[in-house]
Amino acid sequence: MSEEQATVPGCDRNGYFGDFGGQFIPEPLMSALFELERAFSQAMKDSSFSERLDRLRREYAGRPTPLYLAGNMTEGLGGARVYLKREDLCHTGSHKINNTLGQSLLAARMGKRRLIAETGAGQHGVACATAAALMGLECAVYMGEVDIARQETNVFRMELLGARVIPVESGSRTLKDAINEAFRDWVTNLKGTHYCIGSVVGPHPFPMMVREFQSVIGRETIKQCLDKEGRLPDMLVACVGGGSNSIGIFSPFIGAGPLLVGVEAGGSGRCPGQHGSSLTLGEVGVLHGAMSYLLQDEYGQVTETHSVSAGLDYPGVGPEHSYLKESGLATYTTVSDSEALDAARFLSRTEGILPALESAHAVAYAMKEAPRMGNDEFIVVCLSGRGDKDIDTMRKEG
């Protein structure tokens, strides 16, 4: 069965979701973004592209992922039934492969021979290196020196997959600096290089394009809910780092009835440097080419962030989320490090599923809400990834 029609992109022609998004970038990148936007819209209209992508999703990435009724968890909590959308079962262990397969197929179609990416924890880097190996593309991954030291295993995985990991020594030597370096590389090597951004962030068309590649999660979820429950869920919950797994599951449901809840990293406190709650505690500004909520100080300097889950440890958020927040189409909340750790342990024991600590933020929120809801209601949680990568953290956190 082939993938149904692409969802309508939710931004205007200039890449704005309401007041958010746009293209705040150096002039030399304009033509590359224009070329990318055109190639993307042509690809989306070309059935051979969607058929290839659809086949890769099924035969390579393992889609459709199951919608699993977490029966023990539901019984343990009382109240609403809790379903898990099992993105943790995707190849490479998370939803990130949905995006990198799409973008690398597009890059190959555009005649690009080289893929570049940035990575924090290494999850997007691994998904990118995987897709690049599959498509026969050269791959370079920018990674802050601090993150390289923290994530040795993923560095080695990327190298095994044939990618080159380039250490970034500037700034705080973490993800936001790696993104800056990747943009610099792109500007100098535009002709043969595609920059594979890892979430619904960055200048237009990235937020729209990544949303499209991730919205397969939500399209499958609709079908599976109708099959199992005969109706749409009462609530959808997903964690929000850059915002791609959440936009992916939300997008076909926006305005359709279910309450959409994005969960940010509450970290260890509400002071700057203790959390990653861009939407809940941030202000509007420009970061990495787009206008959106972000964490900055009174001088407009981007502040440090913290989360026990590396994937939520980012000072910005995709512009569409800023729009969904302002328009009230989705709501955003936070879950702390310790609540997420508790939820990861709970899910492991009750269901035998060890979630990524990112995903555990969404699980924690569902654990708070389900008992307050009726047993005729149901929640879908996007389980964005598996927790194998987090066992060292969980051991250290006790």
Q: Is position 384 an interface residue for ligand PLP (rule: CB under 6 A)?
A: yes
- DSSP of 123-186: HHHHHHHHHHHHHT-EEEEEEEHHHHHHTHHHHHHHHHTTPEEEEE-STTSSHHHHHHHHHHHH
Neighbours of 332 (CB within 10 A): 22
Q: How far is the CB of 360 from ligand PLP (least distance, A)?
A: 9
Q: CB of 171: closest distance to ligand PLP in angstroms? A: 20
**For residue 263, what are the β-bridge partners?**
239, 333
| Out of 243, 266, 276, 319, the residue judged to bind ligand PLP by CB under 6 A | 243
d(CA 334, CA 268): 11
SS3 for 323?
Answer: helix
| Rounded-to-integer distance, Cα 317 and Cα 178, Å | 16
User: If binding is defined by CB under 6 A, does position 96 make contact with ligand PLP?
Assistant: yes
**Distance of closest approach, residue 234 Cβ to ligand PLP, in angstroms:** 22
Instruction: Give the residues across from 293 on adjacent strands.
Output: 284
For the question of residue 96 being annotated catalytic, the response is yes
Exactly one of 37, 85, 96, 199 is catalytic; name it.
96
User: Residue from 244, 251, 278, 305 that binds ligand PLP (CB under 6 A)?
Assistant: 244
Q: Does the footprint of ligand PLP cover residue 205 (CB under 6 A)?
A: no
Q: Which residue is nearest to ligand PLP (CB)?
A: 385
Instruction: Using CB under 6 A, count the residues that bind ligand PLP.
Output: 19
Q: Which of 356, 364, 373, 380 binds ligand PLP (CB under 6 A)?
A: 356
Show the site string, 169-198: x = touches ligand PLP by CB under 6 A, - = not. ------------------------------
CA dist 75 and 167 (Å) reads: 47
Smallest distance from ligand PLP to CB 358, Å: 3
Is the distance from CB of 198 to CB of 176 less than 8 angstroms?
no
What residues have CB less than 8 Å from 63, skipping those under 6 apart? Answer: 57, 90, 98, 216, 220
What minimum distance in Å lies between the beta carbon of 370 and ligand PLP? 21
Catalytic residues: 96, 118, 384
Interface ranges with ligand PLP (CB under 6 A): 94, 96, 123, 199, 239-246, 311-312, 356, 358-359, 384-385
